[in-house]
């Protein structure tokens, strides 16, 4: 099943609950604009490489469109189309005044030199600068991109349009970025794990957690959960998974990773296991925080966790999701669980527009407030309708986007 088909399936399940007619379903599912460009760039050795870049703008009924830019060899139009729609529902469910967009380039950034990466970024902006900006579509970091790349994007965009740091978010603090943006997605996962546990009548100290992925999201989620007294027993990255039943010293793991090129290779404070084994560990909470599509029909029966938080986008195949729900596993869906990043991106955008900088404490307090309010609404909707948290989240999101579309006039 394609990524866009999975997103559409979740949409249709929720649309049935609110009796959305076929014409409105077609309208809300269709992207406003899909752009594909050729990015020609000169490599350090003098050769010319032509890459394919995308920007899909899904919906703007609730405000400017918002979504990350992904540099990854698996980027294609279907994936970007799916992620753009997810951003629409994500922004709506946490009630941010945005629609959804997404973009990316089919490239492995690890195979590019620093100068090549900059040239690729600037060439991409040259191709799409006229379709994004602070009041139309605001990009942000995603897989394979970071705050430095956002600075290049801002600088290149401003060459055409003049000073306006609100044209992109996820920038360094020195370039009008928000304090706490880098930690935001992972911290949001941690905040919501704590809230969910409270609703289930459980305590952090009695909750063993396995986190698949120790990149930006997994790293900050692990840090927050460890400090909140959860027992993080497993973490992983591309080098493999690391398991310690008594609990991993997350501070040591963070220090090791940061001092070894963001890699856990050689980490000796825990037993090395495979990422496949991590999925099936005997834990209470599983957090897939790496790539999408990691929980499938092939491994769903190995899962023993009864709580899953989707730190990554689309980590569970719809058929596996159905089986887990039938087994009574509580799943907090991606459009809620990993919404911390876009929420703090919103705070950054607001600060840029107002030319007024917030402190870290305010950013964290506002993040907690927005995510708590969204989670409470999703939990209440799920209980009122007797549906999964995923369906409840989509119901709220669809209702808000539908209302805004109708009010604006079609």
> 3-class SS at 243?
strand
Q: CA-to-CA distance for 341 and 180, rounded, in angstroms?
A: 10
In terms of pTM, does the model score above 0.85? yes
Angle at which helix 389-408 crosses helix 360-385, to 10 degrees, equals 100
Task: Say how many C-beta atoms besides its own lie within 10 A of residue 43's C-beta.
Answer: 14
Sheet holding 48-57, edge to edge: 33-42, 48-57, 99-106, 65-72, 137-141
Q: Please, are residues 339 and 90 in contact by the beta-carbon 8 Å criterion?
A: yes
102, 171, 223, 231: the active-site residue: 102
Give tens-digit pLDDT for 272-292: 999 889 999 999 999 999 888
383's CB contacts (< 8 A; 6+ apart) are none
Task: Say how many C-beta atoms besides its own lie within 10 A of residue 14's C-beta.
Answer: 24
Give tens-digit pLDDT for 98-142: 999 999 999 999 999 999 999 999 999 999 999 999 999 999 999
pLDDT band of residue 262 (cuts 50, 70, 90) is: confident
Q: What is 292-360 written as a DSSP string?
A: S--B-TTTGGG---SEEE--SSS-B-HHHHHHHHHTT-EEE-HHHHTTHHHHHHHHHHHHHHHT-PPPH
pLDDT score at 283: 97
Span 305-326, mean pLDDT? 95
pLDDT band of residue 178 (cuts 50, 70, 90) is: very high
Span 40-45, mean pLDDT? 96
Active site residue 357: no
């Amino acid at each position: 099943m394609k990524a866009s088909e999975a997103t559409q399936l979740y949409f249709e399940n929720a649309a049935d609950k609110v009796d959305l007619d076929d014409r409105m379903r077609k309208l809300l599912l269709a992207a406003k604009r899909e752009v594909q460009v050729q990015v020609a760039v000169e490599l350090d050795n003098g050769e010319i490489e032509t890459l394919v870049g995308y920007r899909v703008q899904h919906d703007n009924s609730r405000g400017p469109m918002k979504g990350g830019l992904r540099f990854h060899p698996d980027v294609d139009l279907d994936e970007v189309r799916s992620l753009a729609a997810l951003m629409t529902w994500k922004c709506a469910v946490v009630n941010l005044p945005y629609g959804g967009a997404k973009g990316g380039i089919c490239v492995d950034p690890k195979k590019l030199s620093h100068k090549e990466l900059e040239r690729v970024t600037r060439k991409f902006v040259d191709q799409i600068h006229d379709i994004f900006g602070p009041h139309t579509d605001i990009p942000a970091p995603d897989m394979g991109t970071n705050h430095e790349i956002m600075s290049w994007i801002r600088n290149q965009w401003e060459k055409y349009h003049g000073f306006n740091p609100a044209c992109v978010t996820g920038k360094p603090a020195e370039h009008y970025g928000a304090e706490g943006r880098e930690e935001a997605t992972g911290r949001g996962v941690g905040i919501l794990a704590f809230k969910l546990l409270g609703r289930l009548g459980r305590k952090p100290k009695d909750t063993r957690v396995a986190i698949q992925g120790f990149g930006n999201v997994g790293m900050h989620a692990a840090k927050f959960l460890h400090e909140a007294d959860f027992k993080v027993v497993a973490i992983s990255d591309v080098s493999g998974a690391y398991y310690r039943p008594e609990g991993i010293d997350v501070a040591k793991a963070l220090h090791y990773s940061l001092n070894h090129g963001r890699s856990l290779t050689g980490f000796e404070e825990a037993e090395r296991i495979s990422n496949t084994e991590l999925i099936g560990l005997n834990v209470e909470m599983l957090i897939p925080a790496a790539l999408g599509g990691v929980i499938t029909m092939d491994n769903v029966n190995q899962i023993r966790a009864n709580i899953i938080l989707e730190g990554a986008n689309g980590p569970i195949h719809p058929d596996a999701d159905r089986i887990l729900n039938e087994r009574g596993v509580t799943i907090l869906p991606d459009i809620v669980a990993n919404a911390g990043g876009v929420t703090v991106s919103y705070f950054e955008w607001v600060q840029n527009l107002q030319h007024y900088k917030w402190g870290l404490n305010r950013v964290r307090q506002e993040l907690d407030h927005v995510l708590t309010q969204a989670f409470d609404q999703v939990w209440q909707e799920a209980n009122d309708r007797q549906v999964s948290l995923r369906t409840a989240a989509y119901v709220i999101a669809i209702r808000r986007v539908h209302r805004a579309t109708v009010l604006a006039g079609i």
